[in-house]
Each structure stands twice: as structure tokens, then as C-alpha cells.
């Protein structure tokens, strides 16, 4: 087997963009427990790549895990952790996987999921793989999919991969510490289990996929809530395809896309001559969806009068067209979606409480893209491929990847798709995506900016405390028109204490705003 192809495919799906990680795979060369080990893979990325972690495999921990036949998460002091998992074939330990990462790695669950998916694919081919990584006397310090290149004979031409690495290094020279280095491959887009058509690796989406399976089989009505562009229709389709109604129709209607005068006719249909302009009969969307799923997007924009009629359909399971006296039975499952706060809409009299509870048998919250930055890279790769680019040959600089992952994405997945389409249109032949290729807003994003919505994401207490302090510091300075002394008093700090926190969190743009 061509080992390079196997590792290309597997490492392409690694959740690149966290603080850094290193991966090792070893194989036992023989059946005896005392047989020597062969290092098959030594790979690193991010901070681990800059520190050449791959060149220092933790052979002691790997040997102990194989001898004890035990998966283990080992803390290395306060700052780092090592996850080791023995590789078993027909009951015998034949190798070991080790992954080193920062103990506070925000994407650690994504790394665990990647490792768990790798193991069953790795074991059957373990004996066929060749060594890839550092050899005695050499140091591996490249966060790429390629092994250390042998020294080329004098006069020979460099390979395309090495030329790409060299070009990237020249392009990003002087970009600042931690923002330059060899380019990263675009990850292989992976579909979230249980959500057909949804690409991602984040723990949030994986948990959502597991939850959807049970909800889909139950057949109950579902209310989806999420910001615009988060992919609510994809979730609705997944509910339909995983249910017993999958052979029936899936009919979707955006409630904000129809004028109120046409809404009733579209939903319920009409008989010929029922009103001026009704020259022919029309079968409504509700009747068309019978036997399947009816998806009402932006249900919060439905006119109040129609909400009453929709509620009657849900209660009686019958539809009466405009201009007819007889009702027709329908068999429907309703899935509705909104980005609005329906509780506030109910308080203001714009949404019916009884319809809300009819729809909200099960409520699903779809996380915005800024709360799952590990999904940005695979989604970006997916949209580039959808735009006709050959992502297998493309690379992206660390600086550009960092910019994509720190952007808040107010338009969520839809905005990311637009960015990929823009890049494919403006740079159709470019194989290396640089920071200069990205749109102006993304290039100018402040990595230290914190939005109020970010504070609601579950994370470690230390990181949550830092985010809260950064958010309150900016809010206090803005409220005091940039006057640091006044802001410090509002926060209960001395002026010097405020400056120390600004420096600690790298919010250097605030120092230039001093006005008094």
C-alpha cells in the first residue's frame, strides 16, 4: 500500500486549528511481546509542530499502554495531556496510537472523535504501512501530511510538495510568531453521523446527530431554533430521512417569503373560481405533504390569522381548500424553524401560545458557527469543492486558517459558503490560499473581541472567566467613552490594574484609545 495515500486521507480529517497536537502510531514487529516497535507515523501541527513534538515520541507511555492493554488519558504536568490507545487484532495488541495535546485544548472532544474513527480503519492495514516521520538524526517540524523529504541529489528538481512549502514560507515570512510556517492541507469534508448533508467534526454537531435519530423515529412535531444560516432546513431533512416517513414527500415553505394575501392559498389550496384570479384548481402545500413531513421555516413570520387555521389542521388532521365546504384528511408531521424568540413574540401578541406548544413537542437548538470553530475548515473545504475546486491539491497558510477560525461568522454557514464561492471565483487557479485572498472583514477581525453570545458557550471555568473579563473590559471602556480611569472605577480596579489585564489578554488596541 502507498502509505502516503493512507495518511493523506486520515490526517486530512484531523481537526486542524486548535492550540496544537502531535500524533504517533507504532507497530509491533513480531508476535512476541518483547518484539521491537516500528514508528509508523510521527506528525504534528500548530504549537506542537513549531516545537518539533513529533520528533520526540513518548515510547515509554506507548509501551506501557501495550503491555497493560489499556486505553488511558495521561496528564503531563498542568499544561499537556497524552491519550494512548492500544491497537488490537484478533485479541492481541499489535500496536498503539498516541495523541499529545494541550490540556486546555478547546477542541479535545473533536480530537478524541477523530482518534476513535481512525482506530477501526487503521488496524486492518497496520501491517502494510511503511514508516513515515522522523528518522535518527533528523527532526520533523512540519505540520503537513508529508514525510521528511530525503536530501535531493545536486541538480535535481524539488518536488511539487516541497516547492509549495518553500513558497508558503517565503510568502508568510515576517508575518509574526505563530502565524507562519508550511501550509496546511484542506481537510477532507466529513458528514456528521445522523445528519445527511451536514459537514462537521465538532462535538456539538455529533451529539446533535445522535439525538436526532431518536427524535426522528418518534414522529413528534419538532421546533428548530437557531440563527439565520445555521442550516435549519438540513436538520429538518435529516429528521425526515431518518423517520418512517422517508418514502413520503418533504415539503418546505419559508413563511417570510410569501405575502400575506397569498399565504392561505399556498398552504391550503383553492378551488377554481374561489376568488378573482383563481382560474384553475390548486392543491395546497399541506395536502401535497400528506404522508410525509411539512417544514415551515421562519414560523415566527406567519400571520396571526393563519396561525389559527394551521392550529386547526394540526388538531383535526384535515385541510379545507378556499372555496370548498368539505375537508380532506391529511397525515403530516410538522417541523418548524425560527431565529426569533417566540416567547417574546407570544408576550407581544404576535404568536399564539397554543400553536407554540403544538409545535414544540421537542425543541432543538442549532449552535451558531462561531461556537464550533473546528467545523470551519471542513465546511470551507466542502464549499470550495462544491464550487468546482480540486481541494486535494490545495493548501492554506496557518495565518489564513487562523483568520477563518477566529471570525465570528454573523451569517453562519451561509456566510462561509459565500466566502468560499468568492475565493473560487476570484482565484480559480490558486493552489495556496493566503491571508491576502480572504475578504477584508475576515482579515481585519480582532482575535481578542468577545461577543455577548460567546459567554453562553459551555467551556472550562478558567477560559470562561477570561472571556467574561475581556467582554466587561471592552464594555466598560466603551461606556466611559474610552476613558480608562473611569472604566477602571466602574470595574472596581485601579488604573494600573486595568492596564495589566489589557496587556495580559493582548488587547493592545485599547491602549491606543486612551483619551483621559
User: What is d(CA 282, CA 401) in angstroms, rounded to the nearest whole number?
Assistant: 51
Give Cβ neighbours of residue 470 (< 8 Å, ≥ 6 apart). Answer: 448, 450, 505, 507
pLDDT at 427: 92
32-41, 143-152, 283-292 — which one is most confidently predicted on average? 283-292
Average pLDDT in the 363-379 region? 88
Q: When comparing pLDDT for 327 and 155, which is higher?
A: 327
pLDDT at 512: 52
Given a cut of 90, whether residue 150 has pLDDT beyond it is no
pLDDT at 169: 38
User: Tens of pLDDT along 173-195?
Assistant: 333 333 445 688 888 888 888 89
Average pLDDT in the 129-140 region? 52
Q: For residue 86, what is the enclosing H or E element?
A: strand 80-89
pLDDT at 237: 94
Q: What is the full DSSP assignment across 353-384?
A: HHHHHHHTTEEEEPPPGGG-GGGHHHHHHHHH
Average pLDDT in the 496-510 region? 75
Name which of 213-227, 257-271, 419-433 the model is least confident about: 257-271
C-beta neighbour count of 159 within 10 angstroms: 12
User: Tens of pLDDT along 83-102?
Assistant: 999 999 888 899 999 999 88
User: What is d(CA 311, CA 354) in angstroms, rounded to the nearest whole number?
Assistant: 8
Average pLDDT in the 49-70 region? 85
pLDDT at 449: 61
pLDDT range class, residue 437, cuts 50, 70, 90: very high
Separation in Å, CA 247 to CA 293, 327, 364? 10, 25, 24
Average pLDDT in the 481-495 region? 86
Given a cut of 90, whether residue 441 has pLDDT beyond it is no
Going from N- to C-terminal start, the domains of the chain cover 3-135, 164-191+371-439, 203-365, 452-513
Q: When comparing pLDDT for 78 and 27, which is higher?
A: 27
Residue 311 burial (10 A CB sphere; 0-12, 13-18, 19+):
middle
pLDDT at 346: 93
Domain 164-191+371-439 fold is Helicase, Ruva Protein; domain 3 (1.10.8)
Q: What is the mean pLDDT of the chain?
A: 80
CATH of domain 203-365: 3.40.50.300
pLDDT at 157: 41
| Three-state secondary structure string covering 155-195 | CCCCCHHHHHHHHHHHHCCCCCCCCCCCCEECCCCCECCCC
pLDDT at 235: 95
pLDDT at 144: 26
User: What is d(CA 215, CA 505) in angstroms, rounded to the nearest whole number?
Assistant: 43
pLDDT at 279: 61
Given a cut of 80, whether residue 360 has pLDDT beyond it is yes
Sheet of 72-76, strand order: 37-45, 20-28, 92-102, 80-89, 72-76
Same fold, 3-135 and 452-513: no
Sign of the C-alpha dihedral computed for residues 161, 163, 167 and 169 taken in this order = positive
Helix (H) and strand (E) counts in the chain? 19, 17
Given a cut of 90, whether residue 222 has pLDDT beyond it is yes
Q: What percent of the chain has pLDDT over 90?
A: 26
Q: For residue 295, what is the enclosing H or E element?
A: strand 293-297
66-75, 163-172, 290-299, 321-330 — which one is most confidently predicted on average? 290-299
pLDDT at 166: 40
β-bridge pairing 282-283 and 395-396: unpaired
CA 454 from centre of chain: 15
pLDDT at 67: 86
Residue labelled with grid coordinates 485601579: 494
pLDDT at 77: 67
User: What is d(CA 251, CA 331) in angstroms, rounded to the nearest whole number?
Assistant: 13
Residue 467 · residue 482 · CB < 8 Å: no
Residue 55 · residue 43 · CB < 8 Å: no
* CATH number belonging to the domain at 3-135, selected among 3.30.450, 3.30.530, 3.30.420, 3.40.50: 3.30.450
- In a 3-state reduction of DSSP, which class is residue 139? coil
* CATH number belonging to the domain at 452-513, selected among 1.10.10, 1.10.3470, 3.40.30, 2.40.50: 1.10.10
pLDDT at 240: 94
pLDDT range class, residue 139, cuts 50, 70, 90: very low
Amino acid at each position: 500500500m502507498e502509505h502516503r495515500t493512507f495518511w493523506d486521507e486520515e490526517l486530512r480529517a484531523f481537526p486542524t486549528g486548535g492550540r496544537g497536537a502531535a500524533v504517533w502510531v507504532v507497530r509491533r514487529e513480531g508476535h512476541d511481546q518483547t518484539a521491537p516497535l516500528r514508528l509508523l507515523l510521527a506528525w504534528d501541527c500548530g504549537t506542537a509542530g513549531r516545537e518539533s513534538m513529533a520528533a520526540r515520541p513518548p515510547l515509554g507511555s506507548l509501551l506501557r499502554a501495550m503491555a497493560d492493554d489499556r486505553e488511558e488519558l495521561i496528564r503531563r504536568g498542568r499544561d499537556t495531556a497524552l491519550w494512548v490507545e492500544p491497537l488490537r487484532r484478533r485479541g492481541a495488541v499489535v500496536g498503539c496510537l498516541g495523541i499529545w495535546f494541550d490540556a486546555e485544548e478547546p477542541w479535545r472532544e473533536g480530537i478524541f472523535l477523530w482518534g476513535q474513527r481512525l482506530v477501526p480503519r487503521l488496524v486492518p492495514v497496520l501491517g502494510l504501512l511503511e514508516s513515515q516521520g522522523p528518522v535518527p538524526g533528523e527532526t520533523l517540524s512540519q505540520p503537513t501530511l508529508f514525510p521528511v523529504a530525503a536530501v535531493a541529489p545536486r541538480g535535481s528538481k524539488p518536488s511539487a510538495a516541497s516547492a509549495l512549502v518553500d513558497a508558503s514560507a517565503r510568502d508568510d515570512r515576517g508575518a509574526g510568531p505563530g502565524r507562519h510556517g508550511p501550509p496546511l492541507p484542506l481537510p477532507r469534508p466529513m458528514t456528521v453521523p445522523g445528519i445527511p448533508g451536514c459537514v462537521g467534526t465538532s462535538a456539538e454537531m455529533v451529539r446533535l446527530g445522535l439525538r436526532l435519530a431518536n427524535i426522528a423515529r418518534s414522529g413528534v412535531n419538532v421546533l428548530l431554533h437557531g440563527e439565520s444560516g445555521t442550516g435549519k432546513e438540513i436538520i429538518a431533512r435529516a429528521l425526515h430521512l431518518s423517520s418512517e416517513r422517508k418514502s413520503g414527500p418533504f415539503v418546505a415553505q419559508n413563511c417570510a417569503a410569501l405575502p400575506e394575501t397569498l399565504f392561505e392559498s399556498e398552504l391550503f389550496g383553492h378551488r377554481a373560481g374561489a376568488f378573482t384570479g383563481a382560474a384553475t384548481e390548486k392543491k395546497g402545500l399541506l395536502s401535497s405533504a400528506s404522508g410525509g413531513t411539512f417544514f415551515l421555516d421562519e414560523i415566527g413570520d406567519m400571520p396571526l390569522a393563519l396561525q389559527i387555521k394551521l392550529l386547526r389542521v394540526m388538531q383535526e388532521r384535515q385541510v379545507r381548500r378556499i372555496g370548498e365546504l368539505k375537508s380532506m384528511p391529511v397525515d403530516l408531521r410538522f417541523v418548524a424553524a425560527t431565529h426569533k424568540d417566540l416567547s417574546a413574540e407570544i408576550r407581544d401578541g404576535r404568536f399564539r401560545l397554543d400553536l407554540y406548544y403544538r409545535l414544540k413537542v421537542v425543541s432543538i437548538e442549532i449552535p451558531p458557527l462561531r461556537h464550533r470553530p473546528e467545523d470551519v475548515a471542513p465546511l470551507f473545504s466542502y464549499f470550495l469543492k462544491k464550487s468546482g475546486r480540486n481541494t486535494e491539491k490545495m493548501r492554506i497558510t496557518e495565518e489564513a486558517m487562523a483568520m477563518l477560525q477566529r471570525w465570528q461568522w454573523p451569517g453562519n454557514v451561509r456566510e462561509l459558503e459565500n466566502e468560499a464561492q468568492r475565493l473560487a471565483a476570484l482565484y480559480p487557479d490558486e493552489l495556496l490560499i493566503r491571508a491576502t485572498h480572504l475578504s477584508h472583514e475576515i482579515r481585519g477581525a480582532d482575535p481578542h473581541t468577545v461577543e455577548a453570545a460567546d459567554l453562553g458557550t459551555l467551556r472550562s471555568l478558567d477560559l470562561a472567566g477570561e472571556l467574561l473579563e475581556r467582554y466587561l473590559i471592552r464594555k466598560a471602556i466603551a461606556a466611559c467613552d474610552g476613558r480608562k480611569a473611569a472604566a477602571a472605577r466602574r470595574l472596581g480596579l485601579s488604573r494600573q490594574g486595568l492596564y495589566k489585564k489589557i496587556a495580559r489578554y493582548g488587547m493592545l488596541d485599547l491602549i491606543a484609545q486612551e483619551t483621559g
